[in-house]
Structure formats: C-alpha cells, structure tokens
C-alpha cells in the first residue's frame, strides 16, 4: 500500500511539474505575442516612449561593445589560426576557409553574441523587472494610466534583440576580415577567390537559416528573462530563482534552435 501511495504521489508530482512547465512556456508565448503587437504599434513609439527605447538600446549595446569586439578579435585570431594550421597540416588547404566560415561564423558567433547579451543585459534586466513587480511599481504605473509592457518591458526586449544582431554583425565582418588575412595574407590578390569561396558557402538557403537562427537567438535571450520576471512563481520567490528559471529555459530553447539550424544546413 505504501508503494502504491508513493507511486501515486510520484505521478501527481510529475503531472504538476509537467503542468507548470507547459504553463510557463504558454506565459512566455502569450507575453511574446503581446510584445509583438506592441512592437508594430505606432503608439509604442511616442515621444516619451522613444526616449526610453533609445536609452535601453544604449545600455544593451554601448557599454559592452568595445570589450566584446576586443575579445572576439582575440578569439577569432586563435581559432582561425588553429583551423588554418590544422587544414594545412593534413593537406586540406582548399577546405581551410570553408572550415573557418562554417565553424566560426555560421555556428559560434550567433551563439556567443546571444550569450554575451544575455549575461550582460537581458538577465540583469529581468531581475530589475522582477524587483519592480515585487515592489508594486508596475501596478502603480497601471493606476497612473501607463502600460508597463510598453514603458518597461518592450524597450528592454527591443534593445536585447538589437544588441544581439549588432554584435553578431560586427563579429561576422571582423571574422571574415581576419579569415582573409589568415589564408591570403596582407594582399589583395586573393580577393576574387575569397569572395567566390564565401559566396558558395552563403547560398540562399544557408543565408536564410543563418539569419533566422541569429534572430531566434536574439528573441530567445531577450524575451525569456522578462517573461519569467512577469510570471507568478510562488514556490520560487527569490530573484536568483527568476534568473535561473530564465537561464534554464534560455539554454533549452537555444539548443532546440541550434539543432534545427544544423539539420537545415547539413541534412
């Protein structure tokens, strides 16, 4: 009888956990749909709202841009050198550039840019929203006739998406430049062959998958922290739990996105 009750309790706990998991993702989708409507609404970009959006854009991309660019340059030099030397050592010189572009640009740069923005901006921003919500500030904004989604949430999400896309774009340009120097040196003689090789890699399908993956990463790291800050978690009321909840969901979603892009690119 005891084992029966234990099995029943285990099944009930599993069902409650599954229900909370589904409900959590449903809240994320619902908040995302609301923000998508607000993002395309002209009323979200009035004079007072534009200032908030521009300020969040700066906070998301401005302070971390020099450090991120420097670190990515060093990372690119090391990784490109390893890939090029390895290809030369095994007599695969013609595949050196292909390996650099596919490994570094197609796979690593969108992921690194998204994780950097998540750690530097969106996860702390979610914690700030959680504190505002717990203190009653968001509810006070509603009583004053101000929509918290438009004033506090939407600017943070837009800023996070913008920061990921900006850092990914700059990193791709930097990686392409360093890859050319690593393969051809400081000469313009290899520009034609380099453009041809890179153009063959970035065919329309690969370019579309790369763009969609980068945008999906940007939306994931921007939306999930704020969505978890706005949802009710009575058993996990701490700020740390909100950050961990968003981080776990973020990694799961990014893993799904990466798997889908790999299937699209290589299968």
Ramachandran class of 185: left when φ > 0, alpha when ψ lies in -120 to 50, beta otherwise: left
Judged on CB neighbours under 10 Å (0-12, 13-18, 19+), 25 is middle
* Sign of the dihedral through C-alpha 81, 87, 93, 95: negative
∠ at Cα 264 (263, 266), nearest 5°?
Answer: 65
Quickly state the pLDDT bin for 196 (edges 50, 70, 90): confident
- Give the model's pLDDT for residue 237: 46
Count CB-CB contacts under 10 A for residue 206: 17
pLDDT-derived band at 91 (thresholds 50, 70, 90) equals confident
User: In the prediction, which pLDDT does 243 show?
Assistant: 65
3-state secondary structure of 16: helix
Q: Which two tokens stand for residue 220?
A: 């994931």
- Can you give the pLDDT at residue 129? 87
- pLDDT tens readout for residues 35-64: 888 888 887 777 777 888 888 989 888 888
Element (H, E) at 167: helix 154-184
> pLDDT value at position 219?
93
Burial class (CB in 10 A: 0-12, 13-18, 19+), 108: middle
Per-residue pLDDT, 74: 92
What span, in angstroms and rounded, lies between the C-alpha atoms of 185 and 231?
Answer: 53
pTM of the model as a whole: 0.86
Using CA atoms, how far residue 23 sits from 13, 81, 90, 243, in Å, is: 15, 47, 52, 18
How far is the CA of 68 from the CAs of 1, 76, 167, 193, in angstroms?
60, 12, 8, 30
| Angle value at C-alpha 203, between 90 and 220, nearest 5 degrees | 95
Question: What single DSSP character describes residue 90?
Answer: T
Kindly report which listed range (92-96, 214-218, 221-225) carries the lowest average pLDDT score: 92-96
Report how far apart, in Å, the C-alpha atoms of 139 and of each of 21, 33, 51, 198 are.
26, 21, 22, 52
Distance of CA 229 to the CA centre of its chain: 17
Percent of the chain predicted with pLDDT > 70: 93
| Mean of the per-residue pLDDT values of the chain | 83
């Amino acid at each position: 009888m005891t084992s029966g009750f234990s099995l029943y309790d285990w099944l009930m706990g599993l069902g409650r956990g599954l229900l909370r998991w589904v409900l959590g993702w449903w809240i994320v989708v619902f908040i995302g749909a609301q923000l998508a409507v607000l993002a395309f609404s002209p009323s979200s970009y009035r004079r007072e709202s534009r200032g908030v959006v521009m300020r969040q854009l700066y906070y998301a991309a401005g302070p971390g841009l020099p450090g991120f660019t420097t670190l990515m340059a060093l990372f690119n030099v090391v990784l490109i050198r390893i890939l090029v030397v390895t290809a030369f050592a095994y007599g695969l010189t013609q595949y050196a550039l292909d390996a650099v572009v596919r490994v570094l640009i197609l796979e690593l740069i969108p992921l690194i840019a998204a994780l950097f923005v998540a750690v530097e901006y969106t996860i702390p921003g979610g914690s700030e929203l959680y504190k505002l919500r717990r203190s009653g500030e968001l509810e006070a904004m509603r009583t004053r006739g101000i929509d918290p989604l438009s004033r506090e949430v939407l600017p943070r999400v837009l800023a996070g998406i913008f920061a990921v896309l900006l850092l990914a774009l700059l990193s791709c340009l930097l990686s392409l430049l360093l890859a050319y120097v690593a393969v051809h040196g400081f000469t313009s003689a290899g520009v034609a062959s380099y453009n041809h090789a890179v153009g063959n890699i970035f065919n329309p399908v690969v370019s579309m998958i790369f763009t969609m993956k980068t945008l999906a990463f940007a939306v994931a790291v921007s939306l999930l922290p704020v969505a978890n800050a706005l949802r009710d978690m009575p058993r996990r009321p701490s700020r740390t739990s909100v950050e961990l909840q968003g981080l776990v969901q973020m990694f799961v979603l990014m893993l799904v996105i990466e798997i889908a892009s790999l299937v699209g690119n290589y299968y």
